[in-house]
Amino acid sequence: MQTDSPSADRPAPGDDGHGPSRTRVFLFLQGPHGPFFAGLGRMLRQAGCGVLRVGFNAGDSAFWPDRASYVPYRGPVADWPEALEALVAAHGVTDIVLYGDTRPVHAAAVRLGKAQGLTVHVFEEGYLRPYWVTYERGGSNGHSRLMQMSLPEMECALARAEAEPPMPPAHWGDMRQHIFYGALYHGFVLFMNRGYPQFRPHRDVPVSREFAHYTRQMLTLPLTALRRRYATRAIHKSGVPYHLALLQLDHDASFLAHSPFPDTLSFLGEVIAGFARGAPGHHHLVVKAHPLDSGRVPLRREIRALADRHGLAGRVHFIGGGKLARLLDHARSAVTVNSTAGQQVLWRGIPLRVFGRAVYAKPEFVTHQPLEAFFAAPAPPDARAYRVFRRYLLQTSQLPGGFYSRSGRGQLLRQVADRMLSPADPYDSAQPGSAAQGQQLRAV
């Protein structure tokens, strides 16, 4: 087992050095880029809990300043489950904290946590972006408890709930900070990773390319925004009816684990072919890239080639990332694999077709029409049913705040530690009189 123990001259994370062991010991694994996990660890320590952090590379190390609680893992991924089991036993770990549940080291931790009865806290980007963060236990996205819940169950829980869902927080800009911390993190891994010779990224993208991508995005943000604004304005001024195709990153965890497509181009090929067969001749298709798309795949060129192949020259347009709201103003429908952007579509009452597993892919408001029929006459969502679903999310797993900006982290940290310390799963927090519900009432 190639892990280092915390400093010998400091008490172990589960012991304050003056008495019996604390009741809760939180083991942090990999988190979002930046200082959020460190701030959360400090808060849990102040609450009287033991805290450990396992780091797998120099980027993890750089954003965890407390050396006494930092445990570097220097072994291969194949040996990680055994090392994790030993760490859990040695330090009396009761809780595991991670960001995303599909990367190999996290999937192994989820399996161990469930086998040993540990509480596994899973963070993700908000299901209701951009002002929210998702906090669940045991799994997220296609592994979330939401996947097994029906709308009637949610409605029943809400009918008994005493708390009102929180309002959206004041706007803060997270994208610039997200890009900055992404560049910084990958810079540490690229240039200072000598102490982790066996580290391999969970994505199939070289670290050098990730670093170059984040750096390029940071430097070209103003020019990219100008081009995007011009393209969006041109679509609006054209007056044509249009449908949206919402893209994801090929290495996005939800896309990889819960999608029927191997890559974005396969999805696009099916969508454009279906549009050619079913859409009225005067309708257009607008393809919107993910805001963090790296440009590794020349999407604009590939989309033009697909459009030409299907006789759609001049009717398929590409928008390079950015915010979705303005494009939704006049959209007739939208298609996606399982992007969280689908929830913005449903909130507007716009017909939505999804292909992968998603927490919002409920039959009441997501259609499964064949693409040809969908583009010809898309079935609208049940707006009342979606409002129930949205309210249930806000009542349970969605926390106002963000991982990357200072104001977003502050908003999130004010309530997330209490939510983690609660014995109730977030999806039980809508029950009347629950401890989690009381915490939510105080947070609103």
Contact 191, 215 (CB under 8 A): no
Give the pLDDT score at 211: 64
Residues 408 and 378 in one domain: no
Beta bridge partners of 318: 287
pLDDT at 207: 62
Q: Which of 100, 8, 16, 88 is nearest to 52 (CA)?
A: 88
Give 394's pLDDT tier (boundaries 50, 70, 90).
very high
Dump pLDDT digits (tens) for 113-135.
999 999 999 999 999 977 899 99
Phi, psi of 400 (to 5 degrees): -65, 135
The answer to whether residue 76 sits within a structural domain is yes
CA distance 261 to 387: 30
Q: Are residues 219 and 249 in the same domain?
A: no
92, part of any domain: yes
pLDDT at 181 (0 to 100): 93
Q: Are residues 278 and 216 in the same domain?
A: no
Mean pLDDT, residues 224-250: 83
Is the same domain home to 101 and 216? Answer: no
Cα(400)–Cα(132) distance, integer angstroms: 4
The two counts, helices (H) then strands (E), for the chain are 16, 12
Same domain, 42 and 107: yes
- 3-state secondary structure (DSSP) of residue 403: coil
Determine contact, residues 296/209, Cβ cutoff 8 Å: yes
Tell me the chain's radius of gyration from C-alpha atoms.
23
* Shared-domain flag, residues 234 and 312: no
Other Cβ atoms within 10 Å of 127 Cβ, number: 25
Q: Report percent pLDDT > 70 for the chain.
A: 82
- Let me know whether 243 and 360 are in one domain: yes
Query: Do residues 249 and 345 share a domain?
Result: yes
The residue ranking higher by pLDDT, 358 or 207, is: 358
> Which band of pLDDT confidence, cut at 50, 70 and 90, is reported for residue 20?
very low
* 273 within a domain of the structure (yes/no): yes
Report pLDDT for 323: 77
Residue 319 in this model has a pLDDT that exceeds 70: yes
**How, if at all, do strands 352-354 and 50-55 pair?**
unpaired
Report the pLDDT averaged over residues 270-281: 98
How far, in Å, CA of 412 to CA of 410, rounded?
Answer: 5
How far apart CA 61 and CA 30 sit, in angstroms, is 10
**Lateral strand order in the sheet of 70-72:** 70-72, 50-55, 25-28, 95-99, 119-125, 132-137, 398-400
Amino acid at 61: S
Three-state SS at 235: helix
Pair 272, 324 in one domain: yes
**How large is the average pLDDT for residues 149-156?**
95
As a whole number, the mean pLDDT across the chain is 87
Which pTM does this prediction carry? 0.84
Sign of CA dihedral 286, 287, 292, 298: negative
Q: Is-contact 284 315, C-beta < 8 A?
A: yes
375-388 mean pLDDT? 96
Task: Identify whether the C-beta of residue 258 lies closer than 8 Å to the C-beta of residue 359.
Answer: no
Tell me the percentage of the chain whose pLDDT exceeds 90: 68
Q: Name which of 99, 73, 85 is nearest 5 in CA terms.
A: 73
* CATH code assigned at 30: 3.40.50.2000
Per-residue confidence band for 431, with pLDDT thresholds at 50, 70 and 90: low
| Residue 415 lies inside a defined structural domain of this protein | yes
The per-residue pLDDT for range 330-371, each reduced to its tens digit, is 999 999 999 999 999 999 999 999 999 999 999 999 999 999
Within this chain, do residues 260 and 370 fall inside the same structural domain, yes or no?
A: yes
Most confident of 96-105, 153-162, 322-331: 96-105
Q: Residue 216 is part of which domain span?
A: 206-238
Upper half-sphere CA count for residue 396 (Cβ side, 13 Å): 26
Residue tagged 């996205």 (tokens):
141
339 domain-assigned: yes
Say how far apart CA 405 and CA 407 lie, in whole Å. 6
| Separation between Cα atoms, residue 75 and residue 88, nearest integer Å | 17
**What pLDDT sits at residue 167?**
65
Of 265, 259, 274, give the one whose Cα is nearest residue 333. Answer: 274
Strands 119-125 and 95-99: parallel
- Tell me, yes or no, whether 337 lies in a domain: yes
Q: Which of 83, 48, 45, 87 is nearest to 66 (CA)?
A: 45
The more confidently predicted of residues 322 and 422 is 422
List CB contacts of 266: < 8 A, sequence separation 6 or more: none
253 located within any domain? yes
What are the structure tokens assigned to 374, written together? 């969908």
Residue range 265-294: average pLDDT?
A: 93
Q: How many domains does the chain have?
A: 3
Element at 27 (helix H, strand E):
strand 25-28
Distance CA 60, CA 58 (A): 5
- Reported as a pLDDT band with limits 50, 70 and 90, residue 172 is low
- Of the segments 200-209, 235-244, 371-380, which one has the largest average pLDDT value? 371-380
Cβ neighbours of 313 (radius 10 Å): 10
Is 443 part of a structural domain of the chain? no
Which of 238, 260, 287 lies at the terminal end of a domain, its last residue?
A: 238
H-type alpha helices, 92-174: 104-116, 151-160
| Domain end call among 238, 256, 284 | 238
Mark whether 327 and 385 lie in a shared domain.
yes
Residues 229 and 267 in one domain: no
Is the omega angle on the peptide bond into residue 130 within 30 degrees of 0, that is, cis? yes
Helices 80-91 + 104-116 axis angle, to 10: 40
